[in-house]
Structure 1
Amino acid sequence: MLIPNVKQVNGIWSGNVTLDSWNNFFNKEMDIDLNIGGDKLIESLNSRHKFAYEYLVTNQEKLLQIILNALLVEYPIMQEEYGYEDEELDEYMPNVDNIQEFKEIMEPKRVYILDVENDGMAYLGFHFICSWDEDHDYGVMMHKERVVKMGGGDVAFLSWIAEEDKKASEIV
């Protein structure tokens, strides 16, 4: 098996992954859903998927820090966009001064290994449940240690986002 705890059901490769440093950060034991392919059905797993899985597990702490630090920068802008006021602000999208405070308002739901690769590495997507948007959640797409895009949960699994990023990097 290329990736442990993963199987194909109805054409979708899925399973779970335990990321110990994420469990430590969020102070809970979690088996995070794992999806391979994102919004694309793939027939079989290959070395690009295995390599991305190994990268995820090996760099889990660093990836979480990158995600949370990027969110810390973007979060005040998001607060303005969501427009919560007074009690709603305190309940759904409270002010955050450091990344530790995010564990009170979000938690990981799913990790995606997309079928799009760039420079030998598949894109990874991270989907979080969050208090500020219970309908759409929060998503991040990354390539290696670079945040490609942040937004609703769908950002984590949409292949076209990875494909656009790949094309843009080929132009440079």
Structure 2
Amino acid sequence: MIINDAVFGELEYSYGWVRYTTIEFCGKEAEIALMVKGEEDGKFDEEQYIAYKSLMQNWEQLQQGFLPAILDYYKQERQELGYDIEVNENYPQIESTDQLLEMINLVGIIVPYGDIYEERDIGITFDCTWDIENGLGIRLLNERVAEVGYQDVAI
């Protein structure tokens, strides 16, 4: 089933609503899946619209804030796994967000149900070179990075 939502655009229902689109991320085009949590009736919560519109209005500034948070997470993961001492080719030492950008690809934006948190809630998912299986996820609350972890933190 396909609907054309005024805010989210043309969405197809496949265990949730999805639209494949292109978005600019840190100077590069990214092919992503926009996933909107919702029932088959195609009715969404007002909070979902508000969260998504706010994300899109602030996208340019927000993406720059993702990188330091991801870099901190990466360094912490690397240390916890002991790769700051023992060399692992999947976890090279990196110091800059430019190096980080070469290791991640934006793959999804998730708009969860609107009643889970009080704040505007959005999930962002990435593929990453260091953990192909689990990927990388960010949970944004009120357009601020609230959590960084595996992709499932964003869902």
Equivalent residue runs for 1:80-91 within 5 Å? 80-84=79-83, 85-86=86-87, 88=88, 91=89
1:76: Cα distance to partner? Answer: 1.7
Identity across the alignment (%): 24
- The structure with the largest helix share of the pair is 1
CA RMSD, Structure 1 to Structure 2 (Å): 2.2
Letter in 2 for 1:53: Y
Task: Summarize deviations over 1:81-134 as a string: whole Å, max 9, x none.
Answer: 234432x3xx31222212111111111111101113445x53100111001111
CA distance in 1, matches of 2:120, 2:143: 12
| Mapped pair 1:13 → 2:44 | no
Task: Report the TM-score when normalising by structure 1.
Answer: 0.74
Q: Which residue of 1 aligns with 2:123?
A: 125
Q: Which residue of 1 aligns with 2:103?
A: 105
| Mapped pair 1:30 → 2:34 | no
- The structure with the largest strand share of the pair is 2
Q: Which residue of 1 aligns with 2:145?
A: 147
1:142: Cα distance to partner? Answer: 1.0
Q: Which residue of 1 aligns with 2:112?
A: 114
Letter in 2 for 1:156: A
| Mapped pair 1:67 → 2:66 | yes
What are structure 1's unaligned runs of at least 5 residues? 158-172
1:17: Cα distance to partner? Answer: 4.2
Task: Report the TM-score when normalising by structure 2.
Answer: 0.81
Q: Secondary structure of 2:114's partner?
A: strand
1:151: Cα distance to partner? Answer: 1.0
1:41: Cα distance to partner? Answer: 4.5
1:66: Cα distance to partner? Answer: 1.7
| Mapped pair 1:2 → 2:1 | no
Q: Secondary structure of 1:78's partner?
A: helix
CA distance in 2, matches of 1:11, 1:154: 16
Q: Secondary structure of 1:19's partner?
A: strand
What are structure 2's unaligned runs of at least 5 residues? none
Letter in 1 for 2:31: D
Matched positions, count: 147
CA distance in 2, matches of 1:48, 1:17: 22
